[in-house]
Amino acid sequence: MLLSLIGYIFCLLLGIWGFYITGAQVAQGTLTSTLDNLFLTMFAALMGVTCFGYLAWRFYPALTAGGAAAAPGGKAAAARFVLPKDPDYVDSHIPMFNKIWIGLLAFTALEVVLAYVQVAGALVMLAILLVLSLIKAAMIMACFMHLKFDHPGLSWVVVAPAVLCILIMCGYFFPDSFRLVELRP
Which pLDDT score is estimated for 185?
63
Q: Residue 120 and residue 142: Cα distance in Å, rounded?
A: 31
At 25-50, the pLDDT tens digits run 888 887 777 877 888 888 888 888 88
User: Radius of gyration over alpha carbons of the chain, in Å?
Assistant: 21
Say if residues 140 and 133 touch (Cβ distance below 8 Å): no
Say if residues 52 and 15 touch (Cβ distance below 8 Å): yes
Q: Residue 157 and residue 161: Cα distance in Å, rounded?
A: 7
Which pLDDT score is estimated for 71?
45
Please identify every stretch of the chain with a pLDDT value under 50, giving residue numbers as ranges.
68-72, 77-79
Say if residues 49 and 21 touch (Cβ distance below 8 Å): no
pTM over 0.75: no
